[in-house]
Structure 1
């Protein structure tokens, strides 16, 4: 339980039924997904305590889906994750080739969840990132095979 964020722990303390039947690994994965959504949709400079937290404004991203956009964006996302999400290791981003939309960019983020116990193996982690024309980033869990 110590791997989830403080506000999530307080919420579960207030209403323990929220985590009934949910494995600690799934709680951790969901916590990371929620934090990534918050992190990647926060605009850089909007958090008074840390001006580097978040990504640059992407509200006009539809007009800039040029060739270099996806590489620069994936580098910025990886930089934010390495700085602000210590529960993920060895992250990689690839452009999703299964569905290409004219008005959305799609990426697949994969990495390893840092083990919460000593001598425990790191677990695989992967999510789909979809960036719409308004610059909003959606984080969706990928189905495990």
Structure 2
């Protein structure tokens, strides 16, 4: 699928009038998300698989953002992307949170967890070991909870 198809798929009903997709509305949606997420593609018709890993991740992210979700569950949203793309994704996540969206982010990167979270839930062997407020939280405290050290 192309960048264009991915970004408009969740909004097809909203882009149609009397069963016909309005190309001007469709183009506006595509350009909005390409700009918002700084997706680097020579054309919106380019297949997503032809993009870098970071830009592929941004297209997937854009597809779900197009649905205007109130809750986002992000599982390793920056895995496999370069530092610049990570920063851009963090900025979008922070903006969504500032607009009132609830964000649940799953990450195995502790610096990412500490940098992006208000609260951290630590799960060990399938059980919640701790729910920690991120005010002065450090990696050692998280690791102690993750390895069962808080028992």
Of the two, which has the highest radius of gyration? Answer: 2
TM-score (ref. length: structure 2): 0.25
Q: Which one scores higher on RCO, CA 8 angstroms, separation ≥ 6?
A: 1
TM-score (ref. length: structure 1): 0.26
Structure with more strand by fraction: 1
